[in-house]
Structure 1
């Protein structure tokens, strides 16, 4: 009976706040500070080609480069993880030439012993480069 009460209370609070429960991908992260080169992690909504790339790398992992809206989008996925709490973080971006970039990405795992949502997750990250000719290399560290 007590569990039913909590469920009812949760449903009522969601109804009152008007906030639907949804999980948007990629996994929300603290946005990377935009660098002097204009690099930034970006959040939805994405151009259709970026959404297609997200669907492609979400489960399998890896990365894909998409050129849209005069930018180069780098879509990075870690693949399937057993619980929530995983995320990808762009640690460093190096400019290696006129159009060359290296993005160093790290997977942040949930802390040992921390409470985690018991749901399969697919951590992803999208980084935008304001150069539609960018040659990007992604290094997982």
Structure 2
């Protein structure tokens, strides 16, 4: 018979959408070491026209691929290139941008090929991506797959 009140309470909480509250009691412990857990960061995919320094950086990384960081207009622009591709239809996609520290960022980028059977321009292409981060002092690591 002791189970019935508990089941009734659980059912009423489910129906009303109420949540149980856990009260924590303060306890003495060692000082906490603050760890910076990675979390999603604000960013903006930027389209042309770019600041002049970003345009120059694009010329540098476009053909061979890679990335560089340009600091301009109070932001850090991450200029990323996949290098040369045999046809059009390729693009770079930022899957995730994480903040890893006060000024640390990790950008996960993947090369998305054209869809199978899609019409493609028969010309060499150089897929690029420019991301603006709000932190001009950003230290960026790019992981491309």
User: Could you say whether these structures have the same fold, taking a TM-score greater than 0.5 normalized by the shorter chain as the test?
Assistant: yes
The alignment partner of 1:81 has SS state of coil
- Alpha-carbon distance in structure 2 between the residues aligned to 1:37 and 1:115: 35
Asked if residue 91 in structure 1 is aligned to residue 64 in structure 2, the reply is no
Asked if residue 54 in structure 1 is aligned to residue 58 in structure 2, the reply is yes
Equivalenced residue count is 106
Is the contact between residue 46 and residue 131 of structure 2 (CA under 8 Å) also seen in structure 1?
A: yes
Flag structure 2 segments of 5+ consecutive residues without an equivalent.
1-39
Which residue does 2:106 correspond to in 1? 102
- State the TM-score, normalized to the length of structure 2: 0.71
- Alpha-carbon distance in structure 1 between the residues aligned to 2:50 and 2:70: 11
Which residue does 1:71 correspond to in 2? 75
Instruction: Tell me by how many angstroms 1:37 deviates.
Output: 4.2
RMSD across aligned C-alpha pairs, in angstroms? 1.1
- Alpha-carbon distance in structure 1 between the residues aligned to 2:86 and 2:99: 34
- State the TM-score, normalized to the length of structure 1: 0.73
Instruction: Tell me by how many angstroms 1:38 deviates.
Output: 3.3
Asked if residue 131 in structure 1 is aligned to residue 135 in structure 2, the reply is yes
Q: Which runs of 4+ in 1 moved over 3 A?
A: none
The alignment partner of 1:119 has SS state of coil
Match among 67, 78, 84 for residue 80 of structure 1? 84
Flag structure 1 segments of 5+ consecutive residues without an equivalent.
1-35
